[in-house]
Every structure is written in structure tokens, then in C-alpha cells.
């Protein structure tokens, strides 16, 4: 598989992970508040009250904070024809860490969750390094 194709596969896998985050958040909030609330306009704008639903919501927001940076860096690596070596390793590290992060977050595992987040952030730094070097 070519380097740019492999990087594109990681971007698509990131989109799938985004959809998993959204599904987990929607299912947990719907269980808590009911399908009428979910189908309604949600004008009251209230946050989830349950522990699991709250964690799923915060995990989704946390993912949304780094996913745009991942996409921009991955696309830059493809355009610059540097989607190899440290750039690819960083993208793979970011994706793997983000996959591990979700169950750790919703399970309420402290410290290890932070280490996994740091691993994902390091993956982004590797990608950024490969963009400029």
C-alpha cells in the first residue's frame, strides 16, 4: 500500500472512531433521558446527568478537540508526500491511543487515561515534526 493511501485509511478510521464516539454519547443520553427527549428540539440545553452519559459526552468533546488537528496534519503529510516514517507512526499512534482512550474514559480509569492521552498528543507532535522536516 502506498504511503498516501495508508494515511488516507487512517483518516477514514478516525472518522469511524468519531462515529463510535457519537453513537456512544447518543445511546447513553437516550437511555438516560428517553427517546422523546432525543427526538425533540432539546431547547432546555441540559447536560447529561448520569455518570456514564456525562463521561461519553466529555469523551466525545475531547476527541473533537484533537481530531481536526489530526486531519489537517494527515492531509498535509499526504500533500507534501511525507506520509511515511515518523509521520505515519505518529498518525498510527494517535489513532491507537484514541481507540484505547474511549473505554478508559467512560470506565473512569484515572492516570492511565492521562498517559494514553499524552501518547495521542505525542503522535500529533510526530506528525507535525514530519510536516516540517
Residue 46 lies in a domain: no
For the entire predicted model, the pTM comes to: 0.92
pLDDT at 46: 67
Average pLDDT over residues 101-127: 97
Task: Look at residue 45 in the predicted model and tell me its pLDDT.
Answer: 66
Mean pLDDT of the 98-118 span: 97
Q: In this structure, is residue 34 part of a structural domain?
A: yes
C-alpha 38/C-alpha 34 separation (Å) is: 7
Please tell me the total count of domains within the chain. Answer: 1
68: Cβ–Cβ under 8 A, 6 or more apart, which residues?
Answer: none
What average pLDDT is seen over the chain? Answer: 94
Is 94 within a domain? yes
How many CA within 13 A on the CB side of residue 60?
20
Q: What is the mean pLDDT of residues 83-97?
A: 97
- Judged by DSSP in three states, 47 sits in coil
Spatial separation of the C-alpha atoms in residues 112 and 75, rounded to whole Å: 30
81: in domain: yes
At 122, the pLDDT band (50, 70, 90 cuts) reads very high
Give yes or no for residue 99 having a pLDDT over 80.
Answer: yes
Q: What is the mean pLDDT of residues 116-120?
A: 98
98 inside domain = yes
Q: How far apart are CA 70 and CA 92, in angstroms?
A: 11
Structural domain range at position 73: 3-39+51-132
CATH code at position 32:
1.20.120.550
pLDDT tens-digit profile of 32-41? 888 887 787 7
Question: Using one digit for the tens of pLDDT, what is the confidence trace for 20-78?
Answer: 999 999 999 889 888 887 787 777 766 677 899 999 999 999 999 999 999 999 999 99
Please compute the mean of the pLDDT values over residues 102-125 and round it to a whole number.
97
Amino acid at each position: 500500500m502506498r504511503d498516501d493511501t495508508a494515511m488516507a485509511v487512517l483518516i477514514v478510521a478516525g472518522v469511524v472512531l468519531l462515529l463510535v464516539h457519537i453513537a456512544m454519547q447518543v445511546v447513553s443520553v437516550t437511555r438516560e433521558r428517553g427517546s422523546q427527549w432525543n427526538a425533540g428540539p432539546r431547547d432546555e440545553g441540559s447536560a447529561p446527568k448520569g455518570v456514564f452519559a456525562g463521561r461519553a459526552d466529555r469523551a466525545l468533546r475531547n476527541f473533537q478537540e484533537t481530531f481536526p488537528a489530526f486531519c489537517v496534519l494527515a492531509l498535509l503529510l499526504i500533500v507534501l508526500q511525507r506520509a511515511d516514517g515518523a509521520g505515519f507512526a505518529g498518525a498510527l499512534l494517535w489513532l491507537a491511543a484514541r481507540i484505547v482512550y474511549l473505554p478508559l474514559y467512560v470506565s473512569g480509569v484515572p492516570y492511565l487515561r492521562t498517559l494514553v492521552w499524552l501518547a495521542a498528543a505525542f503522535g500529533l507532535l510526530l506528525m507535525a515534526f514530519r510536516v516540517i522536516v
